[in-house]
Structure formats: C-alpha cells, structure tokens
A and B are shown apart, each in its own frame.
Chain A
Amino acid sequence: MPVNMIVCCKQVPDPEAPPAVFKVVNNKMTLPPEVKPVIGQYEEFALEAALKIKDAVGGKITALSVGNNFVRDVIKKALAVGADELILLEDKAFEDGDSWSTAHALAAAIKKIGTYNIIFCGRQSSDWDAGQVGLGIAEILGIPAVTLARKVEVSDGKAKVDRVIPDGCQVIEVALPAVIVVTSGLGALRYATLKGIMAAAKKQPIVWKPADIGLDPSQIGAAGRHSKLEKLFQPVKESKCEMIEGDTAAEAGAKLAVRLREAKLL
C-alpha cells in the first residue's frame, strides 16, 4: 500500500556554523551573511525516514514549511532529494511564531492537504530547539505520536518504530495515521541526484497564505504566540585554559599527566 507522507521542514541558519559567529544584537540572533540557511538537521533526518519508506513500499511525500522569505534553492532541496510536492506557508504574518502558533499553522495546512498516513517532524528545530511542534500537531489533529524515532517501517496500515530510550530502544507499533518525530540514527539525508536537482529546478512550490488555510493573522506567527521572549543573551565565558606544551605532542601528553597529578585532579 503506498503511503502518503507529509514532512515538516524548517529553514534555519546553518547550525554547524562556528560558535563565534552567533551574536545576539538587540534581543535577536544576528548572523553574518556567510552563514547560509539550511533545512534543519532533524528535518533532514525526517525527510530521509520518509524517503526510505517511499523506497520500500512506495508513496507520496509532501514537504511542508512555515515562515517567510524562503530561499528557494534551500527549501527546494526537499524536492531535489525526492519529495513529490513542496508547500510553503509563506507570509509576513507567519514570522516569529512560537511552538504553539507554528503547530497550529502546520496542522491547519495538513487538514487542508487532507490525505495523509504519516506526518514526519524532526525532534527539535535547529534554532529554537524547543521540540514541541510534532507533538502539538498530533494533539491538534487528535492522532497518536511516537517521538525519538530512529527507524520506521510501514506495513498493513501500521508503523513499527524504534524509539530511542536512554539505554537502548523500544520497538513501538502504532496505527496510522500518526505523527512520527525523528531523531538521529537512521542515517544522513541522501544526496540529491542530478536528475533530482533538474526536476526540482523546474518545479514550483505551492504557496499558501493564512486565508488559504482558514486562519486569521491573529492566530499565527508572532501574533499567535503563547510565550513571550523576554530576553535573548549569551552568557559571558572567561577562557582560562592552561595550555601544556612540549617539544613533541607525546611530550606534551606526558607533561599533562604530571600537571594533572600536581593539580591533584587525579
């Protein structure tokens, strides 16, 4: 049975950028232009989970994202790697949402899409790291959710999910439709093929405005927030590292042993 899948993706500043470039200015994260936006790392895993199911049993993948000013080349990566459709909830009114308003916007769009067996989300976005949206969508739609998935298989209208727990994993069975929230461990997102890139270049995303999903601008983005950001800051760290040197790396290693002993650490 082919599986209809929706993968929620977020465009975020590259989280792998060096820590030193992250600067808070006037309560906002400000990054230099060389830090490019990317699809969040856990949403990439979610895409890969969907692609693996499409490989195994066939199906359709719709990538869905909410925000504003999407960089087309970045977000269209979802199409290039194998998603069939890309829907963008793109409007100024969608900006600066919190988990509450984001989950409501995505759930409204999912209701409009209508047909789905699995909704994949990443465990947490790579910017705000809250880890709530997938579960929020499940509660709004009234469907089950399994979190921290690192392997997903589908058969007979059910999914079998390996859910990571502190000392191993649980194998969980859930009837579909369901939300599955993906963590790492199922392998990196595959590279786009040349054919995929060409196809993606030709395909245009579908853009929906708040009215298209039946929401009032007061319910979404910054206006629809439940939580208020009082302050964004970076704790000041004083570097006080004592560097141990030697003529060779091995000598430095031996000296480190002596120094740790002197300092009564060991």
Chain B
Amino acid sequence: MAEYKGILVCGELADGKLAAITTELLGCGRKLADDLKENLSCLLASAAIGGASKEAIAFGADKVYAVEHPALKDYQADSHMQVVGKLVKDISPRLILMGQTSMGRDLAPRLAFTLGTTVTTDCLDLRIDPGTKLLMQTRPVYGGNAQAIFTSESLPQVVTVRTKAMSPLERDASRKGEVIPTKIDIDMSKVRTKILDTVKEEAVGIKLEDAPVIVSGGRGLGGPQPFQTVLKELADLLHGAVGASRPPADNGWVPEGLHIGLTGKIVAPDIYFAVAISGASQHTAGCSGSKHIIAINKDPEANIFREAEFGVVGKYEEVIPALTKKLKELLAG
C-alpha cells in the first residue's frame, strides 16, 4: 500500500494571477503541514501559469507542480480530473485541499469517488486532533443552522474550504521552494463535455467580492426596482456594491451573480447593509464575515438583528432614503 504523505493544494488562477482562495488554502495547508511535519505542495494547472508558481511559494508552498496545457484554459472536469488524478497517483498526498469554488465543488467529489475515499465540502475549519491524529473537518450543515465536525479514516482525504474562511500567510518573496514544470498528457477523447460559449453577466461597477461596502436587499423589497434605485443610491454614495439574498435572485429580480449566501457568493466587506432581509442562516452564512452588519427591517423579531451591530426597525422605503440623504450631508461636511 502506498504511503500517503504531505498535503496538496489544488490551486486556481484568477485573471492570470494566483487566486485569493489559493493563498488561503496555502495558509491553512502550511499550518497543517507543519503540525504533521510534512511537505506542502501546490498544483497549478492552466494554459499559461507565468509568475503564479513563484507566488504560490511566497504564500507557503514547498513545491509547485506547474502543468501547462492548452486544454486547461477553462475548467473542464474531464481534462482537469486527468491532471489531478495523475499527480495524486504520483505523489500520494494524505490530504488534498481545494477551494469551495466553481471548480473545487465540481472536482473534489469526482476525485474522492474515483479514489474511493471521502470528501468534506465547504469546510470552515480544519485541525489535526492531537490525540487521534485525525483531521477534524468543520462545516456548516442545515443551511447554516448548525455546524458539524467530520472525520474519516480513508486516505487520501479530500476537503474543500470555503472562501475567506482561512487566512493567507504574509507574502514572503524570500521563501524557498521548488517549481516543478510537469508534463501530463490529456487524452482529449475522454473529455466528454464541450464549452460552446461563455456568457459574462457581471453587473457593472465594483465587484461584490472587492466592495468595501455592500448594500444588500431581500425578499421584502418586493421586486427588482428598489435594487436599482433606493439601494443603488446608498451603494453609489459609499462607493459600494448592491447585493441580494437568495429570493431576489431566484425570482429574477437581480442577476444570480449578486446572490450572497451559502449557495451564492461569500463576502466579507467592512460594512454590510442588510435591507429587508430576514436573516435566514443560509444568507448569513454568506455575509457573517463582514466587519460591521447593519440591519434595516420592519419586523423587530427578524433574525438578522441577532447578527447585526446596528439596527433600525422600519420600512426600508422610509429608512434608506433618509439615511442616504443624511450621510450625504455628513460626508460632504
């Protein structure tokens, strides 16, 4: 039986650079690797990798396997699986970390089932139990209404980690590590899907994930219009972005890309305005990392007030325009 050793982070690139989630995985992986006194490797698989390999070392990797292949330009399960599968076979890591991202949530379960092992998705915390040496994997369940800690004895273990749940290490360009350009053949006859088209739907303006302020609306807004008027005016004033809970996205009031929550985007702005949002756990799972949450809701019993630092009970149609007007005065003065 192969000996499983070391930790492998399956990295991702965003706009040609090392993705933020990958730096977070490296931060978490570094700590676990040090606890185990083992190595931390990072796989980067893309059409062109460039300086991202060195970045992965600066963020904590001991070894970076850089696999460049034209078929890896966009994520496709059947091509990426061949690369990850081959590398895992070659280096036998005990733990494979991926982001709970569009790629990770698609790739991790496939890999685990193929390897006959387990995957724990969407983890918020990972630590080695000092007694049993098992990996304790904490993740939200029941739509965020509880958390569960899972362990497994089957190796290798596959885990996906929620974005922004872990902290990256301080970038250190002087860290030593090894970049290993790796050639892996991809059998294109085994790629059973074809990307016909990619449609961009990002709302104009600041990206939700990067916005320092988010003004988010819920079911209580009743339709698409308030997102474009009342909420947008406040967001524009504060150089922020407009977001939404799940019902407005499900109802088509806003594009799916604005959906914040367990099954949408995970955000952590400085300030998060929750407007007419009841505060279902599945929503707060996506915004609880915000520094300051401010809730406006006509229902004083709304769960969102349990999450918020400041709250106003009242109709959003009256509260928000008055808030925006006063803030405008204060910020001008």
Contact = CB atoms under 8 A, between A and B. Distances in A.
B312 interface: yes
A171 B305 contact: no
B112 A132 contact: yes
B311 A231 contact: no
Interface in B8-41: none
Contact of B110 (A139, A171, A184, A241): A139
Given A15-B143, A144-B193, A165-B102, A251 B322 contact: yes
B318 interface: yes
Contacts of B1: none
Contacts, number: 254
B178 interface: no
Interface in B190-208: 192-202
Interface stretch (A51-59, A66-74, A192-200, A255-263): A255-263
A256 B113 CA distance: 52
Given A15-B282, A239-B305, A230 B151 contact: yes
Interface stretch (A83-91, A122-130, A204-212, A214-222): A122-130
A19 B302 CA distance: 10
Contacts of B305: 239, 241, 243
Interface residues of B, number: 87
B327 A266 contact: yes
Given A136-B109, A139-B113, A169 B150 contact: no
B151 A227 contact: yes
Interface in A129-177: 129-132, 135-136, 138-140, 144-148, 150, 160, 162, 164-175
B310 interface: yes
B175 interface: no
A168 B249 CA distance: 13
A16 B65 CA distance: 44
A131 B256 contact: no
Contacts of A237: 306-307
B265 A166 contact: yes
Contacts of B250: 184-185, 188
28 contacts: A19-B279, A19-B303, A24-B146, A29-B142, A29-B146, A126-B143, A128-B148, A131-B122, A144-B78, A148-B102, A162-B199, A166-B101, A167-B202, A168-B201, A168-B202, A172-B193, A174-B193, A227-B120, A232-B149, A233-B147, A233-B148, A234-B145, A245-B313, A250-B322, A256-B294, A256-B296, A256-B312, A265-B292
Given A129-B142, A130-B121, A174-B194, 18 more contacts: A123-B263, A135-B106, A136-B109, A148-B102, A167-B257, A168-B200, A169-B199, A171-B196, A227-B118, A227-B120, A230-B150, A230-B151, A232-B146, A241-B308, A244-B312, A245-B312, A252-B312, A252-B314
Interface of A: 15-16, 18-20, 22, 24, 29, 98-100, 103, 123-124, 126-132, 135-136, 138-140, 144-148, 150, 160, 162, 164-175, 178, 183-185, 188, 226-235, 237, 239-245, 248-254, 256-261, 263, 265-266
